[in-house]
């Protein structure tokens, strides 16, 4: 309706203009050289109008002809841009679907259409990476790393490749370059901490560790390799204060205190750790300077007085009593542990020793000893260092699990780990035809 009204208005205006033009009085005469021209005023006005329109059309055509190459170039660029955008989308879809061949082909097309932009280089690198073409991925990451606007992306990719290869020296150098390009990036800090752990640079790992990191394990490891005694003592103290229940941390601290001539402080640290989480190695350290016999028993009583009911306390008191020839006292502590529900192999072996010491070569003594040994054969395993993450048992403590490389995951564990579902199924599966 609005368009109809507009057409009517325009038609009315044109009619009015034509009417006014036709109504112009007089004639127009022009002489150009020998040519004379005479016409009625409306005709001359119409001619002028037509000449103007013609001239305008000629100028427009000339302009279009001059701009033609540029217009063609622009149209081609738009077509390439559109095709490049489609190739980028297809690359992303292929990467998400894990279609390696398609991802590489579309990433190559995107680069041809759009040139080497940070986006196309990153897509080409990722496509090469998932296709196992490390050479292609490396070339694209290097091209990214050489750009001012996307160097961090390239260095990050090269760093990931170095980590996958296990080339820790190269990875550390790349991490330093990435830090220079983008200081303080959270991801980079975590990656540098991980590299420091893998390279065994415990001080660096400790310095880069975030708030949730197991700092006691890192500080203990750092103290072990530190050559400066004062610094080693500081690190060991930090480890012990951070987690006094970690026996290696307590031992690292106490060992350095003892080396510094501060044995009473060392014993106090060990006693504090024993009150929280007793460990046989703490007893070995604490008892080392003591004499055998009664003085050893006194040392054991001092160590265990804050936590006398714990199985480690009971076993230590029983063993020292047995060594001092006090078999009644040794039996009292061992039986107390047994009545508290402890069914570990070491307890039954200790009871067998007590029976041997008490019964000697008598028939009753031999019977009681055999009974204790029979219990030992079917008892629960003794506590050991076990990884919280992969549940692997280890003969000694390590700052990282040697199997799964989790930091600070080894804990002194008395509970045997339930076998995994796979382990439970495998023996049955082998019996099937």
Q: Which is nearer to Zn ion, 223 or 407 (CB)?
A: 407
Q: Are 389 and 409 in contact (CB under 8 A)?
A: yes
Kindly write down the DSSP assignment for every residue of 365-424, as one continuous string: HHHHHHHHHHHHHHSBPPPEEEETTT--EESS--SB-TTT--BT-EEEE-SPPPPPHHHH
User: Shortest gap between Cβ of 396 and Zn ion (angstroms)?
Assistant: 14
User: Shortest gap between Cβ of 274 and Zn ion (angstroms)?
Assistant: 26
User: Shortest gap between Cβ of 397 and Zn ion (angstroms)?
Assistant: 13
List the interface residues with Zn ion, window 279-298 (CB under 5 A).
none
Does residue 179 interact with Zn ion by CB under 5 A? no
Roughly how many angstroms between the first and final C-alpha of the chain, as a whole number? 85
Distance CA 68, CA 375 (A): 99
Distance CA 250, CA 263 (A): 13
Q: With contacts defined by CB under 5 A, name the span among 183-191, 193-201, 336-344, 386-394 that binds Zn ion.
A: 386-394
Q: Which is nearer to Zn ion, 343 or 417 (CB)?
A: 417
User: Shortest gap between Cβ of 391 and Zn ion (angstroms)?
Assistant: 7
Does residue 417 interact with Zn ion by CB under 5 A? no
Q: With contacts defined by CB under 5 A, name the span among 124-132, 153-161, 380-388, 411-419 that binds Zn ion.
A: 380-388
List the interface residues with Zn ion, window 220-279 (CB under 5 A).
none
User: Shortest gap between Cβ of 404 and Zn ion (angstroms)?
Assistant: 3
# of chain residues touching Zn ion (CB under 5 A): 6
User: Shortest gap between Cβ of 212 and Zn ion (angstroms)?
Assistant: 18
Q: Which is nearer to Zn ion, 366 or 405 (CB)?
A: 405
31 beta partners: 36
* 246-264 burial code (b ≥16 CB/10 A, e <16): bbbbbbbbbbbbbeeeeee
User: Shortest gap between Cβ of 400 and Zn ion (angstroms)?
Assistant: 8
Quote the DSSP letter at residue 31.
E
User: Shortest gap between Cβ of 273 and Zn ion (angstroms)?
Assistant: 24
Q: Which is nearer to Zn ion, 199 or 393 (CB)?
A: 393
Q: Are 392 and 401 in contact (CB under 8 A)?
A: yes
Q: Which is nearer to Zn ion, 351 or 410 (CB)?
A: 410
User: Shortest gap between Cβ of 250 and Zn ion (angstroms)?
Assistant: 22
Q: Which is nearer to Zn ion, 131 or 393 (CB)?
A: 393
Q: Which is nearer to Zn ion, 244 or 408 (CB)?
A: 408
User: Shortest gap between Cβ of 420 and Zn ion (angstroms)?
Assistant: 13
List the interface residues with Zn ion, window 387-406 (CB under 5 A).
387, 389-390, 401, 403-404
Q: Which is nearer to Zn ion, 253 or 412 (CB)?
A: 412
Distance CA 335, CA 370 (A): 17
Q: With contacts defined by CB under 5 A, name the span among 62-70, 215-223, 306-314, 383-391 that binds Zn ion.
A: 383-391
Q: Which is nearer to Zn ion, 253 or 385 (CB)?
A: 385
Q: Which is nearer to Zn ion, 345 or 391 (CB)?
A: 391
- Count other Cβ atoms within 10 Å, centred on residue 76: 10
Question: Beta strands 393-394 and 384-387: pairing type?
Answer: antiparallel
Greatest CA separation found in the chain? 159
- Count other Cβ atoms within 10 Å, centred on residue 132: 9
Q: Are 411 and 388 in contact (CB under 8 A)?
A: yes
359, burial (CB in 10 Å: exposed 0-12, middle 13-18, buried 19+): middle
Q: Which of 264, 289, 279 is nearest to 315 (CA)?
A: 279
Site residues (vs Zn ion, CB under 5 A): 387, 389-390, 401, 403-404
């Amino acid at each position: 309706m609005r368009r109809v009204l507009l057409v009517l208005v325009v038609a009315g205006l044109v009619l009015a203009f034509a009417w006014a033009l036709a109504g112009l009085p007089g004639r127009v005469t022009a002489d150009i050289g020998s040519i004379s021209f005479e016409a009625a005023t409306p005709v001359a006005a119409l001619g002028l109008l037509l000449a103007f329109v013609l001239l305008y059309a000629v100028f427009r055509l000339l302009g279009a002809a001059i701009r033609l190459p540029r217009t063609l170039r622009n149209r081609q660029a738009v077509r390439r841009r559109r095709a490049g955008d489609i190739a980028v989308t297809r690359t992303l879809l292929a990467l998400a679907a894990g279609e390696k061949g398609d991802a590489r082909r579309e990433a190559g097309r995107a680069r041809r259409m759009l040139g080497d932009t940070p986006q196309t280089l990153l897509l080409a690198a990722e496509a090469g990476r998932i296709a196992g073409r490390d050479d292609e991925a490396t070339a694209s990451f290097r091209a990214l790393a050489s750009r001012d606007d996307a160097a961090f992306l390239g260095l990050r990719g090269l760093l990931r490749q170095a980590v996958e290869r296990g080339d820790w020296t190269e990875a550390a150098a790349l991490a330093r370059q990435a830090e220079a390009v983008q200081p303080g990036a959270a991801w980079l800090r975590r990656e540098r901490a991980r590299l420091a752990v893998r390279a065994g640079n415990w001080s660096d790992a400790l310095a880069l560790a975030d708030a949730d990191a197991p700092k006691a394990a890192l500080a203990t490891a750092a103290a072990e390799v530190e050559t400066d005694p004062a610094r080693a003592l500081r690190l060991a103290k930090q480890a012990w204060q951070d987690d006094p229940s970690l026996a290696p941390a307590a031992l690292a601290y106490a060992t350095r205190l003892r080396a510094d001539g501060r044995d009473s402080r060392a014993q106090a640290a060990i006693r504090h750790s024993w009150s929280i989480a007793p460990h046989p190695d703490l007893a070995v350290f604490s008892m080392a300077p003591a004499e055998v016999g009664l003085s050893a028993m006194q040392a054991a009583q001092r160590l265990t007085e804050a936590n006398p009911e714990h199985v480690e306390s009971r076993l230590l008191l029983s063993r020292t009593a047995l060594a001092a020839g006090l078999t009644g006292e040794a039996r009292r502590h061992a039986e107390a542990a047994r009545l508290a529900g402890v069914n570990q192999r070491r307890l039954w072996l200790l009871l067998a020793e007590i029976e041997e010491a008490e019964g000697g070569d008598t028939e009753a003594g031999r019977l009681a000893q055999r009974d204790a040994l029979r219990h030992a054969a079917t008892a629960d395993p003794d506590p050991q260092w076990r990884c919280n993450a992969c549940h692997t048992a280890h003969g000694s403590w390590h700052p990282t699990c040697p199997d799964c490389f989790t930091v600070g995951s080894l804990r002194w564990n008395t509970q045997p780990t339930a076998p995994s579902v796979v382990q439970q199924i495998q023996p049955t599966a082998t019996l099937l035809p």
